[in-house]
Structures are given as C-alpha cells and as structure tokens.
Amino acid sequence: MSVGLVPKSASERVLGATSWFVFAFLYAPIIVLTIFSFNENDNVGIWTEFSFRWYGEMFQNDAVMGALRNSLIVAVISTVVSTLLGTAAAVALEKYRFRGRTAFDGLTYLPVIIPDVTMAVMMLLFFVQLFAMLGGLGLSFQFGLGTISLSHIAFSISFVAIVVRARLGQLDPSLEEAAADLYADRRTAFRRVTLPLIMPSVLGGALLALTISLDDVVVTSFVSGPGSTTLPVYVFGLVRRGVTPLINAVSVVMLAASITLVLVSLVFQRRGDGDPGSAGI
Amino acid sequence: MSEAVELSGVTKRFGDFTAVDGIDLAVGDGEFFSLLGPSGCGKTTTLRMIAGFEFPTEGSLRIHGTEMGLLPPNKRPVNTVFQSYALFPHMNIEENVGFGLLMKKVGKSEIDERVKRTLDMVQLGSRAAAKPDQLSGGQRQRVALARALVNEPEVLLLDEPLGALDLKLRQSMQLELKELQHRVGITFIYVTHDQQEALTMSDRIGVMNEGRLLQVDDPEELYERPKSRFVANFIGEINLLDGTVGSGGEIELGGDLRVSGGDGLAAGTSVGIGLRPERITLHDDGMVPDGRVALPGTVASRIYHGDYYAYAVETPAGHIDVTEENRAGVQTHDEGIRVVVSWDPSASTVVVD
C-alpha cells in the first residue's frame, strides 16, 4: 500500500471533525468580537459598514483612558516589584539551604493554585485588618492603586518564581563554582554568569506578571477604591449596563496586548532553552 | 623546599558521613600528582577542599606554606578544570578564557595577548570567537584547560577532565596533558578513577578508598609493591594467594609451599601474596629454572586476547591467573593439562590487610 493513500477510517474522520469544532468553539467568538469592533452601527448585533469609529471613541472616552492609565500604573509597579522579589525567591530556594525552606517551597505555588475569589477575599480582609491597626496609630489609608498593586504583587511573585526556578534548576552548578574559581566574588559571579543565563526566564516571568496584572478583574475589583478602576474592571462594569461596540474595541485592544505579551514571553523563554549551560557533548 | 600543597589531618564530614578521613599529603612543586580511587572514595571532595569549594571539618591545608583556612575559592592561587568543563555558555571562547584575568583586573591588552597565547598553546587560536556549544567535546576540554592555565595558577586542579571523552580521544589527550604539564611546569593535581590513566600520566599517585589515603607512591612502586589488598586489586590485575606467617618468618601457602617475605611479622598473621599475572610462567615439562618458586597445577581455561593468552590455573595454593605474551613461537598450554607455575621470588609482594 502506498504511503499517503491510506483511506481514512470513520473514527479518524470523527476525530478530525471534532478538532475543527473545538477550534471553532474557541476562536469563533474572538473573530466575531474582532469583526464587530469595526462595525459602524450603535448596536452590537447589526452590521452596517466597516469603520474605526469605536476605536476613535475609545481614545476620546475619559473613563476608558483613565482606567487604562490605572491599569498601566498598577501593571508596571507590580511587574517590576514581583520580578525582583520572585527572582530573589527562586535563587534563594534553588541555591540555599535554610530553615523552613521546604515549607516556603510549597507555599510558593499556593497563589497559583488557589481560586481568584479566595485570593481576593484574603487580600480584602488583610487590608481591612491592616488599616484598622494602622488607624489605631493615627495613620489613615484607603483602598486604591496602592492596594491593587500590592495584591497583584502578591500573586505575581509566584509566577515569576516558578518560571525562574525552572531555568535555575537546569543550570550546571559548576558554572558558579567556575566563576568563583576564576576569582569572581559571589556578587560578580551572580551578575556575570548566573544572571545572564537566567535572564530569558526572568524576562519571561516579568511578561507573564504583566499579562496577569493587566487581565485581573476579580482581585482588583475587591481591593479597588474610588477612582482606581482598572480597564478590565471598567469593561466588566460596562457589560452589566449593556454591550456596546465600544467594549468590543477595548476588548480587542486588550486581547492584542495580552497575546503579544504572552508570545514575547514565550520567545524569551524559548531562547534560553538552547544552552542550559550543562556539559552535554 | 616548600611543598606546593600540604594537607595534614584533613577530615571532611557531611553530617554523619565522613567523606575524607584524616588525610596527610604533600604534593611537591611541579609534580603531576593523581588522586586515584573508586567513586565515592573522597578524592573529589579532597580536590574541592584544595579549590575552596568545601572546607575541611578538621585539619590544615596549605598552599606553598600559606594556610588556606576558610579562604574562598576566588582568593586562592589555584584553578580548576571541571569534569563538566563548566564553560560559560553565554560567552565566546576568548571571553571564557579571559574571564579570570578580567576578574583579576589585568589590563585589556595583556588579557588579549595572554588569551591568544594560551589558545594557541591548546591549538584553538582559530576558534576564539566561537561559542562553547559550537565546539566538540575535545575542544571544550582544551578551552577549560586554557581558561585555567591562562591565570598561571600555582596549582592546577583537574577533576576527571577526560571522563566525558571517548577512549581514543582520551588517550591522545592524556599524552597532550602530560606534555603540557612539562612545558608549563605547574603543579597538577589530577583526580581520576581510571588506574590506567593515573599510571600513564602521573609522577606520583595517591590511592584513596572510603575517605582514607591508602598509599602514595610513584606508578612503578604502586604497581610492583602495593601495600594493601585494596591497592593491589585496584591497580591492574593481580593474584592474591592467602598465606600465614610461620614461626621462622616464612609464609606458608596452600600445598605446603613456603616463601620468604614474612620477616618482621608476628607468627600466625594472615597475609596475601600478590602476584601479577604477567610475572608468572607456565611449564608443561616441569623443567623449572633454579631459584624460582614452583607450584604444580592444572590449566582450567585458556582465552586468546590477541596480543596475549590468559590462563586460569588451579593450584593447591588457590586459583592463579597467568598471562603470556603472544610472541613468535610461544608455547601454548591446553586446557586440562598438568603444568608447573613458577615465578621469581622478587616478583611477589606481601600485603597484610
């Protein structure tokens, strides 16, 4: 029997059809969303003609722009802080033996596993208690961008730590020893050898943290205050008042940004995979 | 003369486990010294203590007379060639080799000049811009060597550096390393589990087992006069015949055979008589030259190895392996025939433990 001319069995046909169906199920809404974001009509469901009208309105809309600004502030702060802390945690867990390391190790993964709502309630209660205590000292704090940023940092650290640690685990431990053997002190060895080698995963982790922060609705809506609405929370609020093509436009922009960030993150992580610095002949 | 490296009473414990147990060792200047032993014998731990990656639990470690104490690796006048080579994958060959000099704040032009000279020495001058993953195993090995040697260390530490190479390449690198060591005149401390490699390359060898240094000698002495059963068995092939020291200092073996060599040992001490298979001769006709120790036996098996024949002979003193070179006109001995096994008294060695 010649290769490639094997007749397809019934089960293969069913499998093929199923996978097309799954793809359609996943991506059809996205395509519809995207197409209708370019619709001229006020009504989401009725197509009239192609236009950038809603994209224009989006940029004119102060509420959208304010929410976008808030989102970006929170995302930048939480990404920078969680990348630094997450990387430090990964290095500590991978390289040093200390009391409570095993417990700490397990707890690192917790924020990834626990449901968003639980995380949100936890953060809310934490801040309420904290503010009450600080209030007792005569200090007054409010929910706002600060609390949102802290909450995002709290769950992003785990993602960064996990990504960075995977990479650290692949590194040949002799590399840092070799640097020390060649007269580098600990800090220099880390800066000139370990850090460049884990940099792809640090950047990958940072982009992941950025994406998660930009997309988060649940935790943010629990710990936000007046005037600190972020873009996803704003969109969520709009939907409850009825869908307008404006939401389509905002969603498409957020979707494009998220996909771009995730792709860039994958590229960074992939780039590091080639030479994990192990012996290998 | 101040020794290049001096260990006195060096012990290393990891929790309850004693990796290195009270080692005393002095390695001379310009010496090619090998630490030989099976895996887990403590040889790598010893090397890592000299490098400064581990610190002794007890004892003192000096390099050219200076106590190393808790000095970190970057402050020690030694460099290491790692088993995995540990080349920095994000730097090219030139940057790898120049790293140590850069850390020592040597001037740019001097770094360039010394890196170039060292790379030429290991025949990799043309690959300066390549990344480590573009090189073959043998080339990486040379880069690792260059990266250490360029710093002109007082002592070069090598941790099974040829372990990852295939046999042919390993043999040619052995010669190359030995030749290189003569040329640069730096003290080499070489860790290996391969006795052939140690015998071929070293000025002196220290044999280790279970954290202890059993014997330190030059290759000939180590092979000809092993002092313990472990060393005798670990270096090359050997027959160990069980014997007991008699009242007159002679050693009694099975089959009423008596040999000398028990002087100074208490009567009744059980000893082993070590005999290298190539030092034994087989005689079909029983015509043994005068002065040789002779023992009757039966050929149990003969195996052809190309350049030699390996015989197993059953004798009253025990099982004896014999090898005879496959020279032109050599007389072979068939399985099952009665032979006489003989050796020169000076060819045997006595081991006590």
Q: Are residues A171 and A264 in the same domain?
A: yes
pLDDT at A275: 45
Q: Are B173 and B165 in contact (CB under 8 A)?
A: yes
Could you tell me if A180 lies within 8 Å of chain B, comparing CB atoms?
yes
Could you tell me if B51 lies within 8 Å of chain A, comparing CB atoms?
yes
Q: Are residues A134 and A215 in the same domain?
A: yes
Q: Are residues A227 and A191 in the same domain?
A: yes
Q: Are residues A125 and A262 in the same domain?
A: yes
Is A278 strand, coil or helix? coil
Could you tell me if B234 lies within 8 Å of chain A, comparing CB atoms?
no
Could you tell me if A183 lies within 8 Å of chain B, comparing CB atoms?
yes
CB contact under 8 A, B86 and A183: no
As for how many domains chain A has, the answer is 2
pLDDT at A277: 42
CB contact under 8 A, A178 and B74: no
d(CA B87, CA B95): 10
Q: How many CA atoms lie within 13 A of B1 on its CB side?
A: 8
* Chain B interface disruption, residue of A176, A182, A192, most B CBs within 10 A: A182
Q: How far out from the chain centre does Cα B207 lie?
A: 7
Which candidate, A252, A209, A262, places its Cα nearest to that of A231? A252
Could you tell me if A97 lies within 8 Å of chain B, comparing CB atoms?
no
d(CA A163, CA A160): 5
Residues of chain B with CATH 3.40.50.300: 5-229
User: Which of the listed ranges B59-73, B169-183, B339-353 does the model predict with the highest average pLDDT?
Assistant: B59-73
Residue A134 corresponds to which tokens in the numbers above?
């600080």
CB contact under 8 A, A197 and B103: no
Domain holding A21, by residue range, is 10-51
What architecture (CATH level 2) is domain B5-229?
A: 3-Layer(aba) Sandwich (3.40)
Q: What angle do CA A149, A151, A154 make, to 5 degrees?
A: 110
Mean pLDDT by 10 residues, chain A (281 residues): 63 88 86 86 81 88 91 95 95 84 83 90 94 87 92 94 92 94 94 93 90 91 90 87 81 86 80 46 32
d(CA B296, CA B315): 6
pLDDT 10s digits, B22-74 = 999 999 999 999 999 999 999 999 999 999 999 999 999 999 999 998 999 99
Q: Are residues A195 and A70 in the same domain?
A: yes
pLDDT 10s digits, B17-27 = 999 999 999 99
Interface confidence, given as ipTM, is 0.84
Q: Could you say which DSSP state residue B162 is in?
A: T
Assigned domain for A5 exists: no
pLDDT 10s digits, B297-344 = 999 999 999 999 999 999 999 999 999 999 988 888 999 999 999 999
What architecture (CATH level 2) is domain B238-352?
A: Beta Barrel (2.40)
Assigned domain for A184 exists: yes
Q: What's the CATH number where A144 sits?
A: 1.10.3720.10
CB contact under 8 A, A184 and B74: yes
* In chain A, residues 188-217 whose CB comes closer than 8 Å to chain B: 188, 192-193, 196-197
CA distance B85 to chain A (A): 7
Could you tell me if B85 lies within 8 Å of chain A, comparing CB atoms?
yes
Q: Are residues A25 and A105 in the same domain?
A: no
Q: Are residues A45 and A122 in the same domain?
A: no
